Structure 1
């Protein structure tokens, strides 16, 4: 058991777990700049004051997740471990403080990164990647609801030890809504290979539901608004990087085990700005 400070840069959209109910995968950087993954974290069960945001420094007791071979993978000492929220790194001065931490070790060639992931001595599973070119952002429909068997199991787990039976628990227990679309970037890196990778990001999920509300339930308009943010704004108007991570299940078996787990999009540096010599 060791207190560890982590700068949170990644929070995935919640998924359902038979063992822990509703979970968020959190990833970030230690004070020395090394990557760390924290899983499981039952984020929506945390008290309001313990709900950290991206770019918060947090401190908690972490131990190596022995059921996960990936070197960056840790877990809270217990599922009820306290998470202490510290300073939040702001975006002043063109995001300079965030860039100083996040851009220490930028990958530009995804083929080389995949080799590191497959190297059993390294087994790299988290990185920040600079795309060479982003070609598209795609929205594809998927299942609109969570697996009903998994929902039933979670509700039964919730009812155990409570004052409510299963039927009463159904009426009061709320699960995060499932996004009925998959979102993916189509892009290249220095290896010139065109790839399509799905993005799983808390920020994207929140944007989808906000846009759906503004669009009065029109999913076509909603997907277009999401694309405008993640392609037109983040790529064309900002300096886009991908936070990327592997999944435990596919790390060793998939030709490309990485997916995009977050976006980092500081302002573009003004290359047209010329410093005039002082004449007087």
Structure 2
């Protein structure tokens, strides 16, 4: 089978796994603009690829994947047959992210009810690009400060591929907060969805390091970025994905925010 050409657009914050090291939910687009989810992707594999190639988001890759039909009913879900990845090129941010827009914005939802209808059988849509009509708030809630004990033990028992270096005593830091956007669709219907994009957690950790481990300041810096700068200066689209557990249970809204697409707003200047 030929490898698929995939534009990587999403990496969520890693979680410990029994069979691998921390696992990252990775998702992106095929050349026709349809979504694809790839898992399991070990964190150590992503780190090694970054180290070797400088790989980052909005990079075209080629990867041998197969549709997951065993336990995952979601049509976008695939797993790698191997981790022999070919890096092609990274799309630039020139001209207000035009190259990225041409792939990522081919199919955009603006209506919550329409998205939720499409997430039901038989279509079972589980990945989507959503354009909110208005982002009304950014909420931070307390979360557990440490990984669960059973997850710590799982990490120590890891049995990863021999070709990938792993230190089972090391865990990626646990961020003790949950971050949410509150936004409205094109009919003014509100949603409150958790943001699980790796970028927001990494931003928090970076702000923590540069502000003497002051959590209050770090949170304010994150809010300034996501609710100050982004909402005022950027044209925000949300990459949404379902969690399999809540999608299978047919939750009222099984989606979370797995990525934020944020080109600068293109101002239209009059010639007169």
* TM-score, length of structure 1 as denominator length: 0.89
Q: Within 1, Cα distance between the matches of 2:224 and 2:258?
A: 19
Which one of 177, 182, 192 corresponds to residue 181 of structure 1? 177
1:259 is paired with a residue of what secondary structure? strand
**Match in the other structure for 1:71:** 75
Tell me: CA distance 1:160–1:226, structure 2 relative to 1, closer, same or farther (3 Å). Answer: closer
Structure 2: 5+ residue stretches without partners: none
1:34 aligns with 2:37: no
**Could you give the per-residue CA deviations for residues 11-64 of structure 1, whole angstroms, max 9, x where no partner exists?**
101111223231111111001111100011002244222673110111111001
Q: Within 2, Cα distance between the matches of 1:160 and 1:34?
A: 30
* Matched positions, count: 263
**Match in the other structure for 1:166:** none
Q: Within 1, Cα distance between the matches of 2:202 and 2:261?
A: 16
Q: CA deviation at 1:158?
A: 4.9
**Match in the other structure for 1:164:** none
1:156 aligns with 2:157: yes
Which one of 248, 257, 262 corresponds to residue 260 of structure 1? 257
How big is the alpha-carbon RMSD for the aligned residues of Structure 1 and Structure 2? 1.8
Which one of 196, 213, 227 corresponds to residue 192 of structure 2? 196
Which one of 98, 112, 115 corresponds to residue 113 of structure 1? 115
Structure 1 stretches of at least 4 aligned residues deviating more than 6 Å after TM superposition: none
What are the residue-to-residue correspondences of 1:1-280 with 2, within 5 Å?
Answer: 1-46=1-46, 47=48, 48-49=51-52, 52-66=55-69, 67-78=71-82, 81-118=83-120, 120-158=121-159, 173-253=169-249, 254-271=251-268, 273-275=269-271
Q: CA deviation at 1:99?
A: 1.2
1:98 is paired with a residue of what secondary structure? helix
* TM-score, length of structure 2 as denominator length: 0.91
Q: CA deviation at 1:208?
A: 0.7
